[in-house]
């Protein structure tokens, strides 16, 4: 199976938070990410809910955002995200990790830019962050595949 053939199927993304986690999902062709809400759960309850949603939506993988080192509460969030990943792996879910790289701040800026108030306590922020994490993953992986294919084609010509 070629690497580009592996890049199909639904992914459920989680912007993990200790109290709230945002969710997003992509289409089976992995072109676009859309929000699917948020969960106000933690620990085992969060893992069960994410597993259930992944199965309901037909997700083959779960992408969990990881904060960059040094970000506010990053050690606590990373530890919680790792526990979530471990619980999902035990249930047979493929886990993908991706740098969430200040997606909450980016979501707030976008909301403010388009005329909304940027109060971070609103529930939409977690969902919007999950969308940004997943779309970043999809775009970066697609670019990687395209460059790998182009490099292979150049190599075949020589």
Q: In this predicted model, what pLDDT tens digit does every residue of 17-65 receive, in sequence order?
A: 888 999 999 999 999 999 999 999 999 999 999 999 999 999 999 999 8
**Domains (range + CATH), the chain:** 3-157 (3.30.420.140)
Query: What gap in Å lies between CA 141 and CA 144, rounded to an integer?
Result: 5
The pLDDT of residue 4 is: 47
pTM value is 0.79
Strands (DSSP E) along 48-149, which ranges?
59-66, 94-99
What is the spatial distance between Cα 66 and Cα 112, in angstroms, rounded to a whole number?
Answer: 24
Is there a contact between 110 and 128 (Cβ–Cβ < 8 Å)? yes
Please say whether the beta carbons of 24 and 35 come within 8 A: yes
């Amino acid at each position: 199976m070629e690497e580009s053939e592996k890049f199909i199927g639904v992914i459920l993304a989680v912007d993990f938070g200790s109290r709230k986690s945002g969710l997003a999902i992509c289409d089976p062709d992995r072109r676009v990410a859309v929000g699917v809400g948020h969960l106000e759960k933690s620990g085992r309850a969060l893992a069960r809910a994410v597993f259930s949603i992944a199965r309901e939506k037909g997700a083959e993988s779960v992408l969990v955002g990881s904060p960059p080192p040094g970000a506010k509460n990053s050690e606590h969030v990373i530890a919680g995200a790792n526990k979530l990943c471990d619980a999902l792996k035990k249930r047979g879910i493929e886990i993908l990790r991706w740098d969430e790289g200040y997606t909450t701040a980016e979501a707030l800026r976008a909301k403010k830019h388009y005329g909304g108030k940027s109060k971070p306590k609103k529930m939409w922020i977690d969902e919007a962050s999950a969308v940004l994490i997943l779309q970043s993953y999809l775009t970066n992986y697609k670019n990687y595949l395209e460059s790998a294919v182009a490099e292979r084609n150049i190599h075949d010509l020589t």
